[in-house]
Structure 1
Amino acid sequence: MRARGWVCGALALVAALSGCAAESDPAPTLPAGVTVELQQLRADVAARQAEVRVTNGSDAPLTIGDVRVEDPRFSGPSTRVIADRVSTVPAGSSVDIRVQLAPVDCDAPGDASARVVLELVDDSGSAEVEASAPDPVGFLAPLHARECVQKRVTDAAAVAFTGFTPSSAGEPAALELTVTPTGTAAVTVVGLERTNLIDFTGPGDDELYAVDVDVAAGDTAPIVVEVPIVPFRCDPHAVQEDKRGTVFDVRVALDGEPGEFELFVGDDLRGRILTWVGQWCGFGTSG
């Protein structure tokens, strides 16, 4: 088969290169008809994961072992969520391979590009190939920007959701946001943006709940804000299929400049909030 023959040829090339100093020779590349790209699904956001989508346009199946995404915007390679798994991509099909994103490197330019390294496997052994990895929906640059904002915020204060008090139908519940200053830097936590599942009552515009917590260098006392929340929607599938409903965009100001980052409530609070939404709206949910 074409793919098997290609892997064998690549293995021979790798073996030959290992005995010489031709370090400038190009690395093996993907077989003809095989492409890769990066995606981030809604379910990947809270866990900081992404998908390497491999599309096999050749006429033979591909077997893929190790996967690495190499990108200067991250402090190291992003690798398979489930180590040692092997994926088979039938001819004419696509497979999404989930990777865990490495921590961001905020010294890297936000417009850098990513490459994917795949280990192709067959009966004779394996060979690594690499290719550029397009990001067609453009999630990597905004993710890098948001997480670098969050790193700067963390220098000034830890920001976390720390509690939840449910309510009866028709009344707002209370989501507890705690800002704990580090004493070493300043930040203003401006507010929280509405999600596709959660809305607010109280100060702010239609999409923003105003928090307006100012942290100055030298502050150390925690500040607790009770955020009144209500369901944004009450159709059952919105809860049953929820992926991002408890991931809030936090707007901040750093040195007078606006920024934002994403803040997940955590698995425990997510389950409690989804259960409350179901009860508030009059349908059952397991959370």
Structure 2
Amino acid sequence: MRCPQLLQIGGRRRRHAERKVHGRRFCRSSVALAVGLLLTGCAGGGEPGDAASPGAPALPDGVTVEIVQLRADVAVRQAQVHVVNDGDTDLEIGEVAVDDPRFVAPASRVLPGRTSRVPAGGEVDIRVQLPEVACSAREADTADSTAEPTVELTFLADGIESTARVAAADPLGFLAPLHERECRAAALAEAATLEFTGFAPAATGAPATLELTATPTGRGGEATVVAVQATNLLDFGPATVDGAFPLDLRVSPGDAEPVVVDIPILPSRCDPHAVQEDKRGTIFDVRLSIDGEPGEIELFVGDALRGDILTWVSSWCGFSGSD
């Protein structure tokens, strides 16, 4: 049984905030409003939010840092360290590490060993791979609301190599919801694994079938899969109720057999760019109740089914090209 691919999203709030971030990237006068940058020592022993120790290496004047996750980053579970250089000194950035108590380890460059040049007046996005979330102590009440990511950068400026550790802003607010949802997914795993396991296309005008499988894990947990919500690309046609496909699929302690549900799906739009530029159309919000506590997770269909679904949407809508 493959592990479910669980992802994070912020819905309308994310899309609205993301548009604001894109606008801000080309308006540096407002970057400072979005970035709270506190300098800390380079020894690595400081806590997020600590002020720099006297004499500790710091980023050059005018350099600010934030961490963002855009739509294209979600499926691959990555983020970007966004560095803006409004100073007078060119930078060459080497190693990057994002430290946050909501993760089991620091996030590091997707392509290790790379360097990134940031000329004076320029900016750069450095892609990092997010590690697993830390859920064992269920520190959500504290860490989710108050934790602050810290970015450690090794950089070259005026021929001198230094390391700075700075507190970085999360202007889209993606880290806390990601932690909450992935910890909820871990709680779900105590009762069952949940994944999309098949897809059957249909002729134009008819709904295709997306197969969802819930497999009890036998660990004694209890959960109810309440509903699967529509995406920006797909809905459930006449079976849609309040923007979702109702399930009320219960997994109780002692259950052993997998339960397979066929979900009807239809394209909710047929403009070609919706398929060609798709990033979120095959990531479904799933409503849950775990031990009586309601919540949501994100469930991706996986790369293989995504390709099949986008190809079918293209055919169903009468245009070619699927990715």
Give the Å deviation of 1:122.
Answer: 5.4
Equivalent residue for 1:220, pick from 240, 250, 256: 256
Deviations 1:101-152 (A, max 9, x none): 1100123321211100111035856322111110111111111111110010
Report the Cα offset of residue 286 of structure 1: 3.9
Q: Does 1:41 align with 2:44?
A: no
Write out per-residue CA displacement over residues 59-107 of structure 1, whole angstroms, 9 at most, x where no aligned residue: 1221101111000000000011111111111211111111111100123
What is the count of residue pairs matched by the alignment?
267
Aligned to 1:234: 270
1:204 to partner: Cα distance: 4.6
Provide the residue aligned with 2:87 in structure 1.
58
The equivalent of 1:272 in structure 2 is: 308
TM-score under structure 2 normalisation? Answer: 0.79
- Secondary structure, aligned partner of 2:253: coil
Question: Does residue 69 of structure 1 match 2:98?
Answer: yes
Amino acid at match of 1:57: D
Letter in 2 for 1:47: V
Which residue identity does 2:152 align to in structure 1?
A: V
2:182 paired residue number: 147
Structure 1 residues 49-198: aligned runs within 5 Å = 49-106=78-135, 107=137, 108=139, 109-111=143-145, 112-121=147-156, 124=159, 126-184=161-219, 185-198=221-234
For 1:234, the aligned partner's letter is: C
Once the 2 structures are TM-superposed, how far is the Cα of residue 158 of structure 1 from its aligned partner?
A: 0.6
Give the CA deviation at 1:203.
4.0
Contact 2:42/2:164, CA 8 A, preserved across alignment:
no
Q: Deviation of residue 211 (structure 1)?
A: 1.6
CA distance in 1, matches of 2:200, 2:72: 25
Partners of 2:42 and 2:291 in 1: CA distance: 51
Two-structure CA RMSD over aligned residues (Å): 1.8
Amino acid at match of 2:104: S
How big is the shift at 1:27? 4.1
What amino acid maps onto 2:289 in structure 1?
A: A
1:208 aligned to 2:237? no
Indicate if the aligned counterparts of 1:166 and 1:173 stay in contact, CA closer than 8 A: yes
Sequence identity percentage: 56
Is the contact made by 1:202 and 1:209 (CA closer than 8 Å) also made in structure 2? no
Amino acid at match of 2:186: K
Structure 1 CA distance for aligned equivalents of residues 216 and 257 of structure 2? 7
Larger Rg: 1
SS in structure 2 at match of 1:148: helix
Residue 206 of structure 1: CA displacement? Answer: 3.5
Cα deviation, 1:14-45, whole Å, max 9, x if unaligned, reads 89xxxxxxxx7674221110000011110001
Distance 2:55 2:108 in 1: 23
The question of whether the paired residues in 2 share the 8 Å contact of 1:110 and 1:145 is answered with yes
**2:213–2:258 contact (8 Å) kept in structure 1:** yes
2:107, 2:129 within 8 Å by CA — same for their partners in 1?
yes
Which gives a bigger RCO, structure 1 or 2 (Cα 8 Å, sep 6+)?
2
Per-residue CA deviation, residues 206-240 of structure 1 (Å, 9 max, x unaligned), is: 31111211000111100001100000110000000
Q: Bigger shift: 95-104 or 113-122?
A: 113-122
Change in CA separation of 1:82 and 1:89 when aligned onto 2, cut-off 3 Å? same
Decide whether aligned partners of structure 1 residues 212 and 202 sit closer, same or farther in structure 2, where only a CA change above 3 A counts. farther
